[in-house]
Structure 1
Amino acid sequence: MTLAGKRILLIIGGGIAAYKSLDLIRRLRERGASVSPVMTRAAEQFVTPLSVSALAGEEVHRDLFDLTKEAEMGHIQLSRVADLVVVAPATADLMAKMAAGQASDLATTLLMATDTPVMIAPAMNVRMWDHPATQRNLSTLTGDGISVVGPNDGDMACGEYGPGRMAEPLEIVAAVERALASGPLVGRRILVTSGPTHEPIDPVRYIANRSSGAQGTAIAQALRDLGADVVFVTGPADVARPEGVEVIEVESAQQMYDAVMGCLPVDVGVFAAAVADWRVKSASGSKIKKQAGALPVLEFAENPDILATVSQMGEGRPGLVVGFAAETDDVVAHATAKRARKRCDWIVANDVSPDTGIMGGSENSVILISAAGAEHWPRAPKQEVARKLAARIADALGGDAR
Structure 2
Amino acid sequence: MLNDKHIAVYVTGGIAAYKSLNVVRELIKNKAQVQVIMTEAAQKFVTPLTFATLSQRPVITDNFQAQTQIDDFIPHIKLALWTDLAVVIPATANIIAKMANGLADDIVSTSLVATKAPKLVFPAMNTDMYENLAVQNNLKILKQMNVQIVEPATGFLAESMTGKGRLPELSEIMAAIKSNFIEKKLAGKKVIVTAGGTKEAIDPVRYIGNRSSGKMGFAMAKVARDLGADVTLITTVDINFNNMNIIKVQTASEMMKQLQEIFQDTDVLIMAAAVADFKPVHVSDQKIKKNNDEDIFNVKLTKNPDILKTIAATKTNQFVVGFAAETQNLLSNAEKKLASKNADVILANNVSQKGAGFGVDTNQITLLEKGHEPVKWDLMSKTDVAKKFWDFYLNK
Instruction: Provide the TM-score with structure 1 as the length reference.
Output: 0.75
Query: What percentage of residue pairs aligned between the two structures are identical?
Result: 37
Match for 1:74: what amino acid?
A: P
Number of residue equivalences: 383
User: Is the 2:10–2:87 Cα contact (8 Å) retained in structure 1?
Assistant: yes
Once the two structures are superposed, residues 74-99 of structure 1 have per-residue CA deviations (whole angstroms, 9 ceiling, x without a partner) of 33221122221111222232233323
User: How far, CA to CA, are the matches of 1:99 and 1:216 in structure 2?
Assistant: 34
Work out the CA distance in 2 between the residues paired with 1:242 and 1:128.
20
2: distance between equivalents of 1:259 and 1:54? 52
Contact 1:231 1:245 in 2 (8 A): no
- Preserved contact between residue 174 and residue 244 of structure 1 (Cα < 8 Å): no
Tell me, in whole angstroms, the C-alpha distance in 1 between the residues paired with 2:365 and 2:101: 57
Taking the aligned partners of 1:88 and 1:297, their CA distance within structure 2 comes to 56
Quote the offset at 1:162 in angstroms: 5.7
Question: Unaligned regions of 5+ residues in structure 2, if any?
Answer: none
| Structure 1: runs of 5+ lacking an equivalent | 397-402
Structure 1 pair 279–192 and aligned structure 2 pair: CA distance change class (3 A): same
**Offset, 1:234:** 5.5
| Map of 1:91 onto structure 2 | 92
Considering only aligned residues, what root-mean-square deviation do their CA atoms show, in Å? 4.2
Letter in 1 for 2:375: W
Other-structure match for 1:13: 12
Give 2:296's aligned residue: 295
Distance 1:321 1:355, change over 3 A: closer
Correspondence for 2:174: 173
SS at match of 1:38: strand
Matches within 5 A, 1:313-328: 319-326=318-325, 328=328
Deviations 1:181-238 (A, max 9, x none): 22523454533334544545568865445667675566456656755565555567xx
What are the within-5 Å matches in structure 2 for residues 13-162 of structure 1?
13-69=12-68, 71=72, 73-152=74-153, 157-158=158-159
- Secondary structure, counterpart of 2:395 in structure 1: helix
1:338 aligns with 2:329: no
Aligned counterparts of 2:37 and 2:119: Cα–Cα separation in 1: 14
Deviates more, 1:112-121 or 1:15-24: 15-24
Q: Distance in 1 between matches of 2:276 and 2:8?
A: 47
Conserved 8 A contact 2:312-2:341: no
What is the CA-CA distance between 1:168 and the residue it aligns to?
1.7
Take 2:155 and 2:388, find their aligned partners in 1: how far apart are those partners? 40
Q: Contact 2:63 / 2:74 at 8 angstroms: preserved in 1?
A: no
TM-score between both structures, scaled by the size of structure 2: 0.76
- Contact map agreement 1:122 1:150 (CA 8 A) in 2: yes
Q: Distance in 1 between matches of 2:351 and 2:107?
A: 64
> Shift in Å at residue 332 of structure 1?
6.2
Q: 1:142 Cα shift?
A: 2.9
Shifted more, 191-200 versus 354-363: the winner is 354-363
1:380 counterpart SS class: coil
Find the aligned partners of 1:188 and 1:229 in 2 and give their Cα distance: 6
Tell me the distance in 2 between the aligned counterparts of 1:178 and 1:210: 30
Q: Distance in 1 between matches of 2:61 and 2:85?
A: 19
Q: Which residue of 1 aligns with 2:378?
A: 380
Q: In 1, Cα distance between the equivalents of 2:338 and 2:248?
A: 30
